[in-house]
Structure 1
């Protein structure tokens, strides 16, 4: 069942981990930023897995396992929920 709070949490964590990823590209020796990145990435992965177990695949390109039959084509798409 779709959970809008879970989706919002995934979006927030995804933004934060991407932002830290970009920061670390130019500040690779920042231990605090790397620690924050690893912690947030772990939270993101747990929330994403929770979403996928209850709703369906969220991302493609080898990041999401699929049940049989191939779920990526099944709707609704993550952005189609209201």
Structure 2
């Protein structure tokens, strides 16, 4: 999906502007503080923007949560719509 949408260049951009050291440091801090697994530099960028502008929504259904980001997952879903984890 990313290849067809032209967002491959965004991945390259975030890889070039976020150093590996900064990524590892911030990803560990987010995992510790928010219990969210950040897998890519692109995801880190978007997560930080989200946190600056929104509050984390409260889950309605605590039984079906993604193990990486704690987002609610629909009963029949095979992937997380929030972070993209597959399979779940």
Q: Does TM, scored on the shorter chain, surpass 0.5?
A: no
* TM-score category (smaller protein): under 0.3
Query: TM-score, with normalisation over the residues of structure 1?
Result: 0.27
RCO (CA 8 Å, sep 6+): is it higher in 1 or 2? 1
Query: TM-score, with normalisation over the residues of structure 2?
Result: 0.26
User: Which structure: greater helix fraction?
Assistant: 1
